Structure 1
Amino acid sequence: MKSLQGLGVALITPFNEDGTIDFPSLENLVNYNVDNGVDYLVVLGTTAETATLNSDEKKQVIEVIKKSNNKRLPLVLGIGGNNTVEVTKQIIDSDLEDFAAVLSVSPYYNKPTQEGIYQHFKTIAIQSPVPIIVYNVPGRTGSNMEAATTLRLANEVSNIIAIKEASPNYLQSTDIIKDKPFDFLVISGDDEFALPMTLAGGSGVISVLGQGMPEMVSKMIHFGQNKQVEESYKIHYDLHSLFRLIFKEGNPAGIKALLSVKGICKPYTRLPLIPASKSLISSIEKELEKISVLS
């Protein structure tokens, strides 16, 4: 699916100091990304603090993003969990008319076997009205979806079109890229691995930093897709410190700090997450100043 290549961004949910959703800032964020080179938007992923949103809030966030986007970019909706029947029901019951795909995380906490992971995604995919992007993030789920399982899904389940791969083992990503079907997308789920994975034959990234630095990250990925290695790595190393700073105190505290420095939203999170420290905000400010001088 060509529309889901390049730079996708996992949008945050901006909050006010009292914990309510800051919808005007969400609109600003969508427009900022649409206007600065992003290829598609991911709605209600982990970065959106979806676990802290109630069902009404999720519906409101979806509607605001759809309205702000106004069909300018493809949308992907996050629907995942560790109860296969419930995830399937949520997908079936959701209005997916405006979404190109569903992003669904590998079951967390239960720690299923590889066969269990395969059956979970197969069950979801065969009942979903839109394509599925599977999401492997062992650092959050407590289990790894091995390359062999991903390739089995890619070859045997036609409605599974991509993986967002966030394993810390880069070689696992290259194992998938090497043996995947031609039209199966391998999307980086880690900003630091985004460029090397793209150059190795991947399809881009679903990025956290990208929503705060959309112009630079999109140029980096697009240079990578065109095999313009020197140009792409120049940007990669300009952003190198920010890739790490925004995760230093957890996600999305870091990216919200960066966005607050840029005046796009406030830095507030919902418990159990807390906003970035003053020292981290200061470090991000200094790095942004350095990048503005470099560019």
Structure 2
Amino acid sequence: MLYQHRKYGMVTPTVTLLRQGSIDLDAVKSLMQFLKKSGAKGAFIAGSTGNAPMLSLNEHKEVIKQYIKYAKEEHLATFVGIGRDSIDETVAMGEYSIELGADKLVAVTPYYMKEDQKQMHAYYSELLSKLDSEVLIYNIPSLTGNNIEAETVAKLAEENSNLIGIKSTNADFDQFQKLIYYTDNDFLVFQGYDHLLLPSLELGASGGVCGTTNLTDIAEKLYESYNRKEPAKSIKLHKQLSSIYHMLEPYEFPAVYNAMFYKTIMGTEIAKEPELFGNLSKKEASLLSKKLSGLL
């Protein structure tokens, strides 16, 4: 493919696993073992699927610490979400993650307050100048209310050698193809939506950062079949992956991913989480689990 970017593979945006208010270390270990077995290349820690915006500063640090530890035991690359409300806290979280051995940092766009492209450029320019690490931008306008445009990303990449990629969770395919066309081929461009993985690979994406990889290896199989040039198998897996994604979509996010991880991988009910994290009832989790079992 003419515009194929550097191939990487699948990275899992890990769920934040809590039990009685503390990190469920047994579950975290099981998750990382599952990811390694599934063929995931890395773990994106403390992203949207990990409910990072609802974590306190201390909780955020503890999640990073423990998840890096268990990911490294399985030789998974660590992509660490460092985004906080304050740029100073974001930088401090980045420095903390670097000390713990994070392989790459992921910085979500500013959220809540509306930012134009000039402000986006200024924000990331300052952030990148202060972080001695490889950094990826995380763009998810449906949750942040802000969208960083492909032209701004390309300009930042030209100006900052430590900006090495982007996770784009954006259904705007015009913008996605611009990310592919306007950046150098070694710039990592990841698709964040599971149901858009196959068409994104067709455009030249490096891989995906997809939530369903917390509970199934179908996205990894799709990525591999695509690279083996098996179109019929890739389309079949794409339909299967899309069906799973759309089955989960109506439920509260990210609570549904936590619940299905516990049911599918741990074989148990999810422990009750803080109300702000959201919960599925036992009945909902049981019914959804049975529906999913026919697709996994």
TM-score of the two chains, using structure 1 as the length reference: 0.89
Q: What whole-Å deviation, never above 9, does each CA across 1:113-143 have from its counterpart, x for those lacking one?
A: 1011011111111221111100111011111
The answer to whether structure 1 residue 127 and structure 2 residue 136 are counterparts is: no
Q: What whole-Å deviation, never above 9, does each CA across 1:1-37 have from its counterpart, x for those lacking one?
A: x998211001111122x43332211111111111221
1:276 to 277, 280, 289: 280
What are the equivalent positions in structure 2 for 1:151-190 lying under 5 Å apart? Answer: 151-190=154-193
Tell me which residue corresponds to 1:112. Answer: 115
Q: What whole-Å deviation, never above 9, does each CA across 1:220-246 have from its counterpart, x for those lacking one?
A: 122234443222221111222211222
Q: Over aligned residue pairs, what C-alpha RMSD do you find?
A: 2.3
When structure 1 is superposed on structure 2, of 52-61 and 195-204 the one drifting more is 52-61
Q: How far did 1:257 drift? A: 2.3
When structure 1 is superposed on structure 2, of 117-126 and 217-226 the one drifting more is 217-226
| Change over 3 Å in CA distance of 1:82–1:229 after alignment to 2 | farther
Identity %: 25
Q: What whole-Å deviation, never above 9, does each CA across 1:141-188 have from its counterpart, x for those lacking one?
A: 111111211221222221111011111212210121122212111101
Tell me which residue corresponds to 1:67. Answer: 69
Specify the SS of the correspondent of 1:153: helix
Runs of 5+ consecutive residues of structure 1 not aligned to the other structure: none
| 1:291 partner amino acid | L
1:288 to 287, 292, 295: 292
The answer to whether structure 1 residue 50 and structure 2 residue 33 are counterparts is: no
Across the two proteins, how many residue pairs are aligned to each other?
A: 289
| 1:244 partner amino acid | H
Q: What whole-Å deviation, never above 9, does each CA across 1:175-234 have from its counterpart, x for those lacking one?
A: 211222121111011111122112210011111101110x22211122234443222221
Q: How far did 1:90 drift? A: 2.9
Tell me which residue corresponds to 2:105. Answer: 102
| 2:104 partner amino acid | A
| 2:241 partner amino acid | L
| Change over 3 Å in CA distance of 1:152–1:258 after alignment to 2 | same
When structure 1 is superposed on structure 2, of 221-230 and 195-204 the one drifting more is 221-230
| 2:28 partner amino acid | L
Q: What whole-Å deviation, never above 9, does each CA across 1:232-284 have from its counterpart, x for those lacking one?
A: 22111122221122232232112122212214264344332321245643453
Please give the alpha-carbon distance, in whole angstroms, between the structure 2 residues aligned to 1:260 and 1:97: 27
Contact 1:4 1:40 in 2 (8 A): no
| Change over 3 Å in CA distance of 1:55–1:87 after alignment to 2 | closer
The answer to whether structure 1 residue 246 and structure 2 residue 248 are counterparts is: yes
TM-score of the two chains, using structure 2 as the length reference: 0.89
The answer to whether structure 1 residue 8 and structure 2 residue 17 are counterparts is: no
| Change over 3 Å in CA distance of 1:172–1:280 after alignment to 2 | farther
